[in-house]
Structures are given as structure tokens and as C-alpha cells.
Amino acid sequence: MNVIVAVDLDDPRHVDDLLNLLDEYAGGPAGNGAPLVPQARQRLPDLLRATPSYRGWLAYAADHAAGLVNCFDGVSTFRAMPLMNVHDLVVGERFRRRGIGSALLAQVEHAARARGCCKITLEVLEGNAGALAAYRKAGFMPYQLDPRLGRAVFLEKHLH
């Protein structure tokens, strides 16, 4: 039986499960190819706890941490409404193809609707066919305002 619970950053098990799932994600091909550095593992729980816009859920399958979604509240300035951004979505390798990712996305949608959000945003690597298929199945589409200008492109600039 799969159970989804809100991440409780004051629960040591939730913190361990969050960090271990992020390690698996970061270490895989959709991540950096290496687990979280020790400094990130040490800082992340307190940083998330101090970030009021953080929303997270853990999925458990037979009492094993099977999946995680980390989200942050945002604002759609064009619509003057809240939005929710999916920052991380990971399903442990041994738990894939069981509907856990879909269940986590459904939880995010439920929470976003409850907050009055106008949309949910996320980023995905274009070569991650499995994730793209799951997101499309859940109703996510590439972002575009004017077809003449094309689709949105996600960019980053490292500062540290």
C-alpha cells in the first residue's frame, strides 16, 4: 500500500528519507551524477525548515521511502495569483512504474488547488523520456506564450 505524507522536517526519519532520496536522484543521470555533498546534506533540512514557501511530500510503499516531491510557492505576475513549482520529483529506482510519481503529482495538484494556485510549474531534462511521459500524462505541457517566439527555455547562472 502506498501512503503519501507531508514532509515533517522535525521528524528525523523524514529528514533521512528526504536526504537519501535526493542522494539517489542527484547521483543518477537526471541529477549531477554524484550524491549530495556532505555540506548540502547538513544544511538542507534547516534551510528548508526556514523557507516558508517550502512544501514537500514523501511516498511510502510498505513502510519504505519510495518517492519524494519538493515544491516551492511562487507567484504568477501575469495572472496575479499564486503558483506552485515542483523543484524535485524522485521515485526510488526499485519503486518505479508503480504509480508513485503520478500519486505525488496528484498530491501536488491537490495542494496547489487548495491554495488557489493558477498553475504548477516544473523543469525536466529533454532526454528524460520517462519523466516527460509521466508529466504529459499528468497534463503538463511545454510553456509558450506566443508561437512566434517559441517555447520557454530554462536557464541558470551559478553564483557559488
pLDDT in tens, the chain (160 residues): 689 999 999 999 999 999 999 999 999 888 888 999 999 999 999 999 999 999 999 999 999 999 999 999 999 999 999 999 999 999 999 999 899 999 999 999 999 999 999 999 999 988 898 899 999 999 999 888 888 888 888 888 889 8
CATH number of the domain at 45, please.
3.40.630.30
Cβ 77 vs Cβ 113: under 8 Å: no
Half-sphere exposure of 3 (CA within 13 A, CB side): 9
What is the amino acid identity at position 10? D
Range of the domain at 111: 2-149
**Cβ-proximal residues to 30 (8 Å cutoff; 6+ apart), any chain:** 125, 128, 131
Closest by alpha carbon to 88, among 57, 128, 47, 132?
57
pLDDT value, residue 136: 93
Q: Are 54 and 18 in contact (CB under 8 A)?
A: no
Residue 158 inside a domain? The answer is no
Task: Report yes or no on 85 lying in a domain.
Answer: yes
Answer yes or no: is 160 within a domain.
Answer: no
Task: Note whether residue 47 is domain-resident.
Answer: yes
Of 72, 61, 62, 153, the closest CA to residue 101 belongs to 61
Residue 106 belongs to some domain of the structure: yes
CA-based nearest residue to 126, from 118, 117, 135, 115 = 135
Q: Is 90 among the domain residues? A: yes
Q: How many domains, in total, are found in the chain?
A: 1
Q: Which grid cell is 64?
A: 519504505
**Residue 144 within any structural domain of the chain:** yes
Does 56 reside within a domain? yes
> pTM of the prediction?
0.93
